[in-house]
Structure formats: C-alpha cells, structure tokens
Amino acid sequence: MALDVQQLNRRCDTLEQAILGVKQHPEATDGVLFDLYRNAAIKSFELSLETAGKLLRKALKAFEASPRTVDALVFNDVLRHAGKHGVLSSAEVERWLAYRANRNSTAHDYGAGFANDTLQLLPAYLQDVRVLAAALQKVFDASA
C-alpha cells in the first residue's frame, strides 16, 4: 500500500474552512456560530497535528535502519528527527514543537480565553502543515 498525505490534506481543508467560519462569524455578533467554528477549528488543529505526527513517524522509517527505533520515539523526538533528516528545517521544528505544546495545553484547558489564544496560531499552523504535507509526500514517493 502506497503511503500518501490525502487524509492530512483533508484535515487541512477542514481546518481552513473552520478558520474562515470564525472570521465570518465574530463572537460579538454571532456568539453561537463563533463558538461552533472556533471549536471546529481547534478540533481540526488537534486532529491534523496527530495525523501529521503519525505520517512523520512513517516517513522517518525511510531514514532509519530499524523501524522500531522510530516507533519508540515520543512526538517531540519525532519532530527533532524530522529536522535531523531534512524533512523539517530547524525553524520549522521549533514551530512544530510550539504547536505540540499548545495542543497539549488545549487538552487540559477548556477555557474560552485559551481557545481564543489557540485561534491566533492557526493561520501560521495551516501554512506549516500544508508545507509538511508536500514534504511528506516527496518522502513517500521516493521510498515507493
């Protein structure tokens, strides 16, 4: 079975639509729809981050002698190894570590303030995840 990033791209599309929904329904004028789209954006962020991590793990197996080595890595180390092997730049690794830290916080903080803070990260994150999807597809194509 060939590996591809179709699922990750779909999650990006969903995130993009949720971000647009947030912009089209300001909290002050359309509170319920704002909450709906904000929650959808944050959930899409979480799902796309997890999908990206799983795909990164699969991509790294092309660079490592033992797939078990990759399987044993925690998420942050997966990101660092992606930088080591040129899948991510060092600046991208730092941004992805920040996204992961934010995602870990969203899992434990359900406040609207924190959710709104997370919204501020999402446009840059969306760009980064699309760049990553293209890089991952190149790795998968090369190893096919």
Please list the pLDDT of the chain residue by residue as tens digits (144 residues).
Answer: 468 899 999 999 999 999 999 999 988 888 899 999 999 999 999 999 999 999 999 999 999 888 999 999 999 999 999 999 999 999 999 999 999 999 887 655 566 677 888 999 999 999 999 999 999 999 999 987
Output the pLDDT for position 1: 45
CA torsion sign for 95, 101, 107, 108 is negative
How many domains would you assign to the chain?
A: 1
The residues, ordered by sequence, that sit 6+ positions from 7 with a Cβ below 8 Å of its Cβ are: 51
Q: 110 with 91: CB under 8 angstroms? A: no
Q: Which domain holds residue 42?
A: 5-143
The residues, ordered by sequence, that sit 6+ positions from 119 with a Cβ below 8 Å of its Cβ are: 19, 22, 38, 41, 42
CATH of the domain at 32: 1.20.120.330
The Cα–Cα gap between 111 and 138 comes to 39
pTM for the whole structure? 0.91
